Amino acid sequence: MDCRVVVEAAVPVYDVETTDEAVRIAISKTGEMLNPDLNYVEISMGTRTSPEGEELPPAFVAADEALVALELEMSVFNVEREEHAARIARKEIGQRLRNIPLKVLSVEQIEEGDGRRGDGDDGGDGNDDDEADLPPEDEESDDDGLLPEFEEMVEEER
């Protein structure tokens, strides 16, 4: 079974004046912590509501510091149960977002014909037996038959 997991993160941001600025910085900061290992995690603004049900901004700013609610969404493949998918997503994201509280918001099973699996991520389930995802040998771009590492490509761009 394949699942789509949404995790809420409470990201602290410092030296900000507005909620918009806090959200932009929090998304950037979270992206830096997740990349390049988890570049397939989708980051978006979270939603907050008051106890009365009133919708609130995704960030709370006080004394030039903010706490921003973000939603992190990732696919997890080849799991037995939804609880297993939630644990995997929480562990994979939590390892990179040190000291940031996480809460699993939802776990949805991805249907076979959904087409969402073709996004290139391995879901972090630890199974490295995805030989079908590798290109045939004659289509590889490097003379040695190996593709350059991501860091090498980034360094070449600089």
* Domain boundaries, position 62: 2-112+135-157
Tell me the C-alpha distance between 47 and 57, whole Å.
7
Question: Beta-strand (E) ranges in the chain?
Answer: 2-14, 42-45, 48-49, 55-56, 59-62, 65-76, 102-110
Indicate whether 141 pLDDT > 90: no
**CATH code for the domain in which residue 31 is found:** 3.30.70
Indicate whether 132 pLDDT > 80: no
36 assigned to some structural domain = yes
**pLDDT at site 30:** 94
111-127 residue pLDDT tens: 865 544 444 444 444 44
Based on the structure, what is the number of domains in the chain? 1
Q: What is the pTM of this model?
A: 0.68
Percent of the chain exceeding pLDDT 90 equals 59
24 assigned to some structural domain = yes
127 assigned to some structural domain = no
66 assigned to some structural domain = yes
70-113 residue pLDDT tens: 999 999 999 999 999 999 999 999 999 989 999 999 999 988 65
Q: Say how many C-beta atoms besides its own lie within 10 A of residue 8's C-beta.
A: 17
62 assigned to some structural domain = yes
**pLDDT at site 119:** 43
**pLDDT at site 98:** 87
Indicate whether 35 pLDDT > 50: yes
Residue among 37, 59, 36, 34 nearest 46 (CA):
59
125 assigned to some structural domain = no
79 assigned to some structural domain = yes
73 assigned to some structural domain = yes
